[in-house]
């Protein structure tokens, strides 16, 4: 993470006053992806994959420790299986936050409770260098929005409070400007004890109806795990997923996961992957699996964080 520190003469001369700070960071990745193209309309079975992501955050802090943040993200991706294009970068909407003690308020283009990770480990331990397969891959029909490089269809307000291992989180997402997406709210709670955590979240909206999820995650030495179960009014079946990661050395880990249920006709999806750190934020990764439509999927590539 790179940082630039801006401080005026007045800030330097005034004791106890925090200077404004700008940080930027992100990652780049490139490699190959494969989809056996069983039931979908992909033009190619294999494609070059790449992504460049840059997030810029501005931070200011008051004399009494009240922290204000604003952030924005740029991202450029390849054209996917249907195109060999290298797409232009897009920029997302801005997200803001205010933090004091154990309380944090997020406003704007920000994550809701289900997406935030406050109380649930949604994706678990993904397979492949792109994490093409996760424990939540079959979790269809959930209202879930987060910070990203695209435009936000609707703004979100979320509050989170953490104390002594307990975390409570609540969010409200407004209607979009075209009123095609209804407003919805979500609430969640989690508790951490040692290397483990349990959490639950519930949400409701006028159009999509209600949704819920329960999760457990943690670690036993070199083995990390996550389990997720959930349902909503639009899915055909209750969804269940689990994942694990085993560190076979300080630099290499093996990840495996599966996901079941969801939309009518979904197959159980699963994946197996390996990741190896070269140091300096550079990681090699590869994986193979089966998607919910029955396609064999795989990838291999490199990611470097900065």
Question: Is CATH 3.40.1690.10 the classification given to domain 2-305?
Answer: no
User: Residues 245-267: pLDDT tens digits?
Assistant: 999 999 999 999 999 998 888 99
| pLDDT at residue number 151 | 62
| pLDDT at residue number 10 | 33
User: Residues 27-41: pLDDT tens digits?
Assistant: 999 999 999 874 455
CA distance 215 to 242: 10
| Tally of CB atoms within 10 A around 42 | 15
User: Residues 135-159: pLDDT tens digits?
Assistant: 999 999 999 988 887 666 679 999 9
| Tally of CB atoms within 10 A around 266 | 21
| pLDDT at residue number 135 | 98
| The pair of three-digit structure tokens given for residue 286, joined into one six-digit string | 């590869």
Residue where the block lists tokens 């450029």: 76
| pLDDT at residue number 12 | 32
| pLDDT at residue number 41 | 57
Residue boundaries of the structural domains of the chain? 2-305
Pick out the chain residues at pLDDT < 50. 1-16, 38-39
Sign of CA dihedral 137, 138, 140, 143: negative
| pLDDT at residue number 146 | 86
Do residues 289 and 256 lie in contact, with contact meaning Cβ atoms separated by under 8 Å?
Answer: no
| The pair of three-digit structure tokens given for residue 201, joined into one six-digit string | 């979240």
């Amino acid at each position: 993470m790179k940082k630039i520190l801006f401080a005026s003469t007045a800030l330097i001369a005034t004791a106890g006053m925090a200077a404004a700070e700008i940080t930027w960071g992100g990652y780049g990745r490139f490699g190959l992806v494969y989809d056996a193209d069983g039931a979908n309309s992909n033009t190619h079975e294999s494609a070059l994959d790449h992504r460049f992501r840059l997030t810029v955050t501005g931070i200011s802090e008051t004399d009494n420790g009240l922290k204000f943040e604003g952030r924005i993200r740029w991202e450029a991706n390849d054209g996917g299986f249907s195109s060999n294009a290298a797409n232009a970068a897009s920029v997302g909407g801005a997200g803001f936050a205010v933090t004091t003690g154990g309380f944090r308020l997020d406003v704007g283009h920000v994550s809701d409770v289900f997406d935030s990770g406050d109380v649930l480990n949604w994706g678990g331990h993904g397979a492949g260098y792109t994490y093409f397969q996760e424990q939540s891959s079959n979790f269809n029909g959930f209202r879930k929005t987060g910070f990203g490089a695209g435009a936000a269809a609707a703004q979100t307000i979320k509050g989170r409070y953490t104390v002594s291992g307990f975390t409570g989180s609540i969010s409200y997402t407004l209607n979009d400007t075209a009123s095609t997406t209804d407003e919805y709210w979500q609430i969640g709670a989690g508790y951490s004890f040692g290397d483990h955590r349990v959490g639950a979240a519930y949400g409701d909206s006028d159009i999509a109806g209600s949704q819920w999820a329960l999760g457990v995650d943690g670690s036993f030495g070199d083995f990390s795990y996550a389990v997720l179960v959930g349902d909503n009014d639009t899915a055909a079946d209750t969804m269940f997923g689990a994942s694990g990661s085993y560190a076979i050395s300080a630099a290499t880990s093996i990840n495996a996961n599966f996901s079941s249920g969801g939309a009518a006709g979904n197959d159980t999806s699963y994946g197996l992957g390996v990741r190896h750190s070269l140091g300096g934020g550079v990681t090699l990764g590869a994986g193979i699996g089966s998607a919910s439509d029955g396609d064999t999927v795989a990838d291999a590539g490199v990611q470097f964080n900065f």
